[in-house]
Chain A
Amino acid sequence: MKPAPFAYERPRDLDAALSLLAASRGSTKIIAGGQSLGPMLNLRLVQPELIVDISGLAELKLAQVSGNELVLGALVTHADIEDGRTADVTRGAMRNVAANIAYRAVRNRGTIGGSLSHADPAADWVSALAALGARVKLRTLAGARTLAVEAFVVGALEPALHVGEIVEAIHVPTRTASSHWGYAKSCRKTGEFARAIGAVLVDPADASARVVIGAIDTAPIVVTDARELFGGQIAADYKQRFDVRVADALLAKAGIDDAAQRHIHVSVLKRAVLEAAA
């Protein structure tokens, strides 16, 4: 379990990194915390010719509130968020998610941008940030673009990254005072990837809800207008109106044939709803 040979560069600033990416031919991989890429290299599941280590890019470690949102540099670690070293606009939601990612050694090194770029459907940020309505800022030498998280994660291990493009920052909108947040997951054991994730952001005040069913074989199911899951409307009694049959149908439509698997996903989502309403 040793990686195939690769070239290694550690640029000092974002422009240098983008230039390396633009100039590279063949396969290039970006490494930040290395918590997923490291094992994949060792297993030779990926055999890039060049690895660009972006861990030295100071501008990607910034975290600041800007207007109505929090901008988190791609290199912010899970532990930074867990420990409150970054500002929080989600009223504790992100801090709780961060604190339950894998285990502490992974959180110390793993980054929020790396987690999204890896696009593992079982990763917490992929579901949680979609539920929170976050957007991903992507940059190339030529310029930048912004995508909703649910548009960025297009499939299992499949981010919408173009050649030469890098996740620069995550934009997280400020959570309204009237909104309710629920996040639940089921793991085989402590620290393992989830086998079911449910994330719910409900705002009875403006009758809106975002619901995510994650940790399925494909990109998470993101329901940006979740009224149907609550009998057609979002109100204070949304807990009672949560309709497991609609959730089950969503999972069936996503190709999950196994009834027990669907039952576990629906049960986890139901817990997220109960947590939000609690």
Chain B
Amino acid sequence: MKENAELRNEREFPSGKSGQGVGARLPRKEDDRLMRGRGQYVGDIRLAGLQDVAFVRSPLAHARIRGIHVPEAYRGSVFTAADLVGIKPIRAVSGLPGFKISEQPVLATGKVRQVGELVAMCLAPTRAEAEDIAASVTLDLEELPAITDMLKAREPGSALVHEHWGDNVFLETSYEVDISAALDAPIKVTREISTARQCMSPLEGRGVVATFDPRLDQLTLHSAAQMPHITRSGLAECLGMEEGQIRVISPDVGGGFGHKGILLPEEVCLSWLTMRCGHPVRWLEDRREHLVASSNCREHHYKITVYANSDGMLRGIDCEATVDSGAYSSYPFSACLEAAQVASILPGPYKMPAYRCRTFSVATNKCPILPYRGVARTGVCFALELMLDLVAAEAGLEPGEVRLRNLVLPEQMPFDNITKKHFDSGDYPQAMRRALAAIDLDAIRARQKRGEADARRIGVGVSIYCEQAAHGTSVYSGWGIPMVPGHEQASARLTPDGGLELRVGVHSHGQGMETTLAQVAHEILGVDVAKVRIILGDTAMTPYSTGTWGSRSMVMAGGAVASACRELGERARRIGAKLLQHDPAAVVLQNGEVRGVNGSVSLGAIAHTWYRRPQDLPADVDPGGLEVTQGYKPVRDSGSFSYAAHAAVVAVDPDLGEVEILDYVIVEDGGVLVNPLVVDGQIYGGLAQGIGTALYEEMLFDASGQPLATTLADYLLPGPTEVPAARLDHMETPSPYTQFGVKGIGEGGAIAPPAAIANAVNDALRPLGVALMQSPLTPHRIVEAVLAARAAERSAA
């Protein structure tokens, strides 16, 4: 950890002594309510006259709607698309050339294109009664051939999800740098690799409570949402209302991960319904709706060739990537973000002279795909890192050594890689070396030679990735999607008693922003974090923001809070100078006080004077006051690049296919850490999700497009006994472009585990001739591969 200390000491933080500023390992302030069960989620909201909604959802993946029959008794409690006059469909367009537009009606019209698509909305005093009504509605559907296989969907003659397109491809992109230069490489490995379709599975599902206030002429939508301002913009477009007529409140949110980053048809439906029926209405997503009808993620397919010299040096990568985007383009990220991103991020932190990647975003009769923690990076890391292990085997090298030979070097920073991704800082080889040392590679190799008493096989695997975070206007304007992040703003207000209120447009759904943003404020103003209140999740109370996604909140909202607090501190300092009867140039703000040679005056006293005793202020005081809104954008908005090397040791039972993770090491560099405790929590949580991707989570569909996992007995999530006590090591290479040198780290934990674990399993089974290229690595897939390898060996013998 010596290197850490050196890096940290390069920077000076004025509040270092107080233990509350940037770098302090503070317990989370919000946990006092959350851990006592006192959080307030959408499901906790009670409004007078509230009624519940249950939806009639399509039982078929692809069908024409011939009729919707509502029993006489329930007319008036059931609403269909025919009722929603003037409501526009959800459109999430990309400006990338060739993008085909899907229109998602909030209640189905004409066709249904996925199981679970909303067809009718049923209203009753309780959810159970609403479900009774929904069960009584019958649909007359003409079933159409379901498109469930994204590769077949690309073939000519496939049935079509959106007939007028002529094919099923939302978007095709390509990126090439001189691939012909790689073709004569002595090592050439080609494989097909795929990752399963997953459900994001936050503890809290989506939920909506909508109500209309005639006095304010305002719709209030309470929604478990990561991006309330974007939700409001999307709602206004669909409902044909002014943004000022809509207030979106996102209270405590129990996990987002991307699942809560889209505009829901349910949000539009309930907004319309409360205005139609004149009382508050509620819909809470249940677990079955989440599994079968909501949104999915992660389903990638790669056909990939890696070229290398015999010493393991990469010569190039040639890849064709396909992503199953589902039936509709979701607002605001669109159906193409995931696949098109693959082309630009596949090379990762590796140097190579040649590269080609084509990508396809394919429409199928499944839920729309959303960017899930790590977005395309988890699939990309899985594909490339599995391939590098095959290159290592061809070259006769340790997998770690192949990485070390190809990773970008610290002296090359800042570094533009082959797809022009701009790496701000970091020492990737050091992270890999530390991980290899911590996992004790030599000891594992010795243990493998000895063998195990229980006949299991031991394997070790590594992976490394980079996580571009908080990338802004210059990156997103090119996508041409409905949302482009610009300057982030924060409001800071000193209260008359010396407290600090901060208003930010990002949200917090487990990230601990109420603590970390308070630490940033403390860093600048010296206000005790206990006296800092963070106000977020309400469009009426916070500055416009694209919200919390893309690991951007600490960089962007943290930067904005720092800017606002600096300006506020400057105003307080000038008032303080007046009170101390000093020249403003002769006083400083330190530890929550304005100090001069004559003495000091606290921020609390300055605030009290400003608000309560203006008679004590001189006539020429700056009238601006102690409330400011300031904006922030990093010096470069191409993103901060955090990264980590992961190393896993597994024991594999080749007869049962069971995998046990024996040891797991993560060496993470997230730049300067505002709160290492919070960062640790982010990494542990991400690791759990990465283990889910690696070993458990998979939403399968039958040929007719029926989702096969409808409860958590079938859709397996890792639990406490499946997540090992990982060992974390931090490096801290500051970003040169951000406030304090911070980097976004929210997603990284979920990116590398599938690759590290799969590489470890393959390492364990390599002597048997087994290499698995598909996640999750289920017992059945493992045993199937072992049996196939044994059969191949027998037929060869």
Contact = CB atoms under 8 A, between A and B. Distances in A.
Contacts of A240: none
Contacts, number: 64
Interface of B: 126-128, 131-132, 135, 286-288, 655-658, 696, 710-711, 713, 716, 718-719, 721-722, 778-780, 783-784, 787
B692 to A, nearest CB: 10
B326 to A, nearest CB: 23
Contacts of A43: 288, 710-711
A260 interface: yes
Contacts of B721: 189-191
B722 A264 contact: no
Given A186-B656, A189-B721, A268-B656, A195 B783 contact: no
Contact of B716 (A1, A189, A258, A268): A189
A39 B126 CA distance: 19
A64 B362 CA distance: 64
A1 B128 CA distance: 8
A4 interface: yes
B751 to A, nearest CB: 22
Contacts of B716: 188-189, 192
Interface of A: 1-5, 39, 43-44, 186, 188-193, 195-196, 258-261, 263-264, 267-268
Given A195-B779, A259-B787, A264-B783, A4 B655 contact: no
A188 B779 contact: yes
7 contacts: A5-B128, A5-B132, A190-B722, A191-B719, A195-B779, A263-B783, A264-B780
B202 to A, nearest CB: 17
A191 B712 CA distance: 12
Given A44-B135, A268-B656, A189 B722 contact: yes
What are the nearest 8 A-B pairs in CB distance?
A2-B128, A267-B655, A190-B721, A260-B784, A260-B783, A1-B286, A186-B656, A2-B131
Nearest to A265: B656
Given A1-B288, A188-B779, A264 B135 contact: no
Nearest to A186: B656
Contacts of B711: 39, 43
A67 B718 CA distance: 46
Contact of B287 (A1, A44, A186, A261): A1
B779 A190 contact: no
Contacts of A1: 131, 286-288
Contacts of B783: 260, 263-264
A195 B657 CA distance: 12
B696 A188 contact: yes
Nearest to A39: B711
Nearest to A44: B135
A190 B713 CA distance: 12
Contacts of B710: 43
Given A186-B658, A188-B696, A259-B787, A3 B779 contact: no
Contacts of B126: 2
Nearest to B710: A43
Contacts of A186: 656, 658, 779
Nearest to A122: B713
A189 B287 contact: no
Nearest to B656: A186
B288 A264 contact: no
A2 B719 CA distance: 26
Given A260-B780, A267-B656, 15 more contacts: A3-B128, A4-B135, A44-B131, A186-B656, A188-B779, A189-B718, A189-B721, A190-B719, A190-B721, A190-B722, A192-B713, A258-B780, A264-B656, A264-B657, A264-B780
